[in-house]
A and B are shown apart, each in its own frame.
Chain A
Amino acid sequence: MSTAKGNGQGRLCLLDLPNSVFAFLLVFILASVLAPHFFSPGNLSTLLLQASILIILSIAMSLVVISGGIDLSMGGVLSMCGVIMALCLRSGMHVLAAILVGVVSGAMFGLLNGLCVTCMKVPPFIATFGSMGIAQSIANTLSGKRTIYWEGGSHSAILDFLGGNVIRVQFGIEASTIFYVPFLVVLTAVVVGIVIFLFKRTVLGAYTYAIGENEEIARLCGIATRTWTVLLYIISGMLASLAALLVLIRTNSMQPTSGEWLEFQAVVAAVLGGNALEGGKGSLYGAIFGALTLYVVRSALSLKGIDTSATMVVIGGVLVVGMMLNELAARHEKKLLGKM
C-alpha cells in the first residue's frame, strides 16, 4: 500500500480517511438541507436497512477489487442462492439447513470463478461475467421465472424473528418519527465486522494488497497467490449468498431477478470508496461509505419527488464528482508525500 498510514504526520490524518467519507458527508448535508423529511429518524433507519444489502456486496467487491480482480457474478449468485434457499424453505427444510445450503452453493460458485481465473487464466472480468449468466440462468430455471413464497411455520420461525426490530423508539405518531434498528442491520454489522476483523487481523489483508499490487512479486515472496485468489472469490460468493439471505428476510419471498444490476452498483460503491480497479489500493470502510452515498442520493431524490429517470442521471453525475474528489485527494496526498 502506497498510502502514508501510521507515519505519525498530523496533517495526513484527514487523508487516512477513505475519500468516500467526504463525498458521503457532502451528499448527506446537501440531502438534509434540501430534501424534506430526509433528516428524520424514520427515514434514516429505512436508509440503513435499504443500504445494508449493498454494503455487504460492496465489501465483498472491494476484497476482490483490491486483489486486482472483479466479481460481476455477484448479482447472479445472489439471485441463485436466494432462489435455492427459498426452495429449501418451501420444501419444509429447517431454516438453518436452508441457509447452509445457500451459503455452500454461493461458495461453490466462488470456487468456480476462482478456478476460472487462476487455472484457466481467463481475465476476471470475463470469467465472472460468464458465470453471472450461468448463475442467473440457474436462478431462472429453478424458479421457473416466478417469485417464490413459502409457508411460514416452526421451521422458519427464526426468519420471522430476524425480520423484526432490535430497538424501536417512537418520537411521534407519524412513520417518519419512528426510529428503529432492524435485526438485518445488526446482522449486516456483524458480517461486516467479521470480514473487517479477518482483513485487519489476519494475513488476508496484507496478502490481498500484495496480490493486487503485483501478483508476480507476491508469488515470488512465497504467497500462494492462486490459493488466496480462489479464497477471495469464495468469500465473495459466500457474502453474496448472505446478501441473498437479507433480501429473503426483508421481502419474505424471493424473486429470481433480485440480483440484477446489484453487481454494478457494488462496483460503483467500491470505486467511489477509493478502491482502484487495477488493484492494490483501497479500503473496506471506503466501500461502506460509497454504498451509503449511493443510497443517500437515491433516498433524497425520491423524497424530493424527482422522477427515477432523472435519478439515473444524477447518480451518473455523483459518480463523476466522487471520482473527481478521489483524484483530487490522491493528487493532494502525492504533493504532501513529496514534501516530506
Chain B
Amino acid sequence: MSGQATIPRKRLLKSLTDFSSLFILFGVLAFFEVVTTLQGNDYLTMSNMSVMINQACFLTIIGISQALAILTGGLNLAIGSVMAFTTVMWGRMLVGANSDVHYIVPMLIIVGAGMLIGLVNGLLITKLKMPPFIATFATMYACRGLAWLALGKRVIYNLNSDFRWFGIGIVTRVGGFTLTVPMIITLVLLVATAFMLTRTNFGRRIYFMGANPVAAKFSGIPTDRIIIWVYVISTGIAAFAGLLYGARLNSFEPGMAVNAPFEAITVALIGGIAMSGGFGNIWGVLCGSIIVAAIYNGMNILSVPSELQTLVMGAMIIFAVAFNQLLIKWNMELRNELDERIAPDTRVHGVEGKA
C-alpha cells in the first residue's frame, strides 16, 4: 500500500498538531521581538522572560482549574469569586490568628472550603441538572457577595510577611533569569495534573466523559461522581490560587480577580483545550498562559493603551481558537487514520469502552 510509506510522515504531522499552541507562542514572541527591536526596546532578555513566566504561572494555575472543568464539557465561572472569598477569609484568619497556630493550618482550611464550594457546584450540575454555566454563575454571584459580607468593604493589607514566601519567594538566579517559588509550585501542579489526566483511570474517564457523555454513561462510568470530583478539584485549585494572589500582593480585598474565570478560559482555549470537552493537553495551558503573558508584556513595552489591549486580546482569542479548531480537526483525522493502520488498542478512548 502506498499508505505504508506515509505513516511516519503522518505521525510527525500529528505530533506537530499536538503542539498547536507552541506555534502561536513562537509567532507572538517573534512578532513582539521584531517590533520592539525596531523601536529600540528589549523584549526577549532573560530578566524579562522570567517576569513573563512568573506572570504566566498565576495564569497557569487558574487555567488548570478551568481546563479541568472544560475537559468534562463544562465551565467554571466561580473561580474568581472563590479566589476572592478564600483570600478574604484567609486574611481575616491571619489578622486574628494566635501566634502559636502555624499559617499552614488556615491555608488547609481555606483549600478545604474551596473544595466544599466545588462540591456545591458539582451537586448543582449533576443532581439538579443545571447547566455548568448557570450553576457556577450562581455560586460565583453568591461567593462574591459572601466575600463582600465577610470583610465589610475594607481591605486587609500589609500583614506580617513571613507567609509570603510561596507567592514571591526566589529560589535561585541563573544569569538574568530568576527562578521563583510560584514557578516551582506551578510546575509541580502541572506535573501532578498531567499525571492524573494521562496515567490514572480517573483522568482517562474525564476525557472519555467529556468527549461523549452518553457513551461514557452506558459504559458504566459513574459520570456524576466524576463531575463532582472534577469540580471539587477545580474549585480547590482556585482557592489555592487565591492564596497565591494574597501572598503575592499582601493585600486581601473582596473585589479581587473579577476577570479571573475569563482569563482562565482564554488561557485554556489558546492552549488548545476544546470548548466542547474531552480534547486537549494540560501542558497547552502553560503554553497558553505564556502566550497571554507575552502579549500583555509586549504591549506594555510598546506602551499600547490599556483600552486597546482588551481589543487585541479579544481578537487574539477568536483567531487562536479558530486556528486550534482547524488543527484539532486535522489531528483527529490523522489520529483516526493512524489508528486504523496500527493496533486498535492505541485508540484513545478504546480501553475504557471495552472495560
Q: Which residues of A contact B (CB under 8 A)?
A: 116, 120-123, 125-127, 129-134, 136-138, 140-141, 145, 264, 267-268, 271, 276-278, 307-317, 319-320, 323-324, 327
Contacts and interface: CB of A to CB of B under 8 A. Distances in A.
Given A116-B318, A312-B144, A324 B311 contact: no
A312 B134 contact: no
Given A134-B314, A309-B148, A319-B138, A121 B322 contact: yes
A324 B82 CA distance: 23
B124 A320 contact: yes
A297 B126 CA distance: 27
Interface in B243-290: 254, 262, 265, 269, 275-276
Interface of B: 124, 128-131, 133-135, 137-142, 144-149, 153, 254, 262, 265, 269, 275-276, 305, 307-311, 313-318, 321-322, 325
Nearest to A316: B142
B149 A313 contact: yes
B265 A129 contact: yes
A268 B265 CA distance: 19
A193 B58 CA distance: 48
A308 B144 CA distance: 11
A278 B133 CA distance: 11
Nearest to B305: A141
B307 A145 contact: yes
Contacts of A277: 131, 133-134
Contacts of A316: 138-142, 145
A323 B149 CA distance: 25
A324 B128 contact: yes
B336 to A, nearest CB: 19
B145 A313 contact: yes
7 contacts: A121-B322, A133-B317, A277-B133, A308-B148, A309-B148, A312-B142, A319-B137
A122 B325 contact: yes
Contacts of B262: 129
A277 B132 CA distance: 10
B134 A131 contact: no
Contacts of B316: 130
B276 A264 contact: no
Contacts of A121: 322, 325
Contacts of B144: 309, 312
Contacts of A125: 275
Contact of B311 (A138, A264, A317, A320): A138
A312 B141 contact: yes
A315 B145 CA distance: 10
A313 B146 contact: yes
Most B-side CB within 10 Å, residue of A120, A133, A313: A133
Most A-side CB within 10 Å, residue of B148, B311, B315, B316: B311
A141 B313 contact: no
A126 B275 contact: yes
Q: Is the interface of A mostly helix, strand, loop or mixed?
A: helix
Contacts of B265: 126, 129
Given A122-B321, A130-B317, A277-B133, A310 B149 contact: yes
A138 B130 CA distance: 35
A267 to B, nearest CB: 7
Contacts of A145: 307
Given A123-B321, A264-B137, A310 B128 contact: no
B137 A268 contact: yes
B145 A323 contact: no
A105 to B, nearest CB: 15
Contacts of B310: 133-134, 136-137, 140
A268 B314 contact: no
A339 B217 CA distance: 27
A132 B142 contact: no
A309 B262 CA distance: 22
A134 B149 contact: no
Given A121-B325, A134-B315, 12 more contacts: A120-B325, A134-B310, A136-B310, A137-B307, A137-B314, A141-B307, A308-B148, A316-B139, A316-B145, A319-B138, A319-B141, A323-B135
A121 B329 CA distance: 11
B354 to A, nearest CB: 29
Contacts of B141: 312-313, 315-316, 319
Given A264-B137, A311-B145, A312-B148, A320 B318 contact: no
A313 B325 CA distance: 37
B317 A320 contact: no
B275 A123 contact: yes
Contacts of B134: 267-268, 271, 277, 319, 323
Contacts of A136: 310
A268 B77 CA distance: 13
Contacts of B146: 309, 313
Nearest to B317: A130
Nearest to A141: B307
Contact of B149 (A138, A264, A309, A319): A309
B305 to A, nearest CB: 8
Given A126-B318, A133-B311, A327-B129, A309 B145 contact: yes
B288 to A, nearest CB: 13
Contacts of B139: 316
Nearest to A270: B134
Nearest to A124: B275
A25 to B, nearest CB: 21
Contacts of A116: 318, 322
Shortest 7 CB-CB contacts between residues of A and residues of B: A133-B314, A312-B145, A309-B148, A316-B142, A137-B311, A140-B307, A313-B145
B138 A320 contact: yes
A271 B130 CA distance: 10
A122 B322 contact: yes
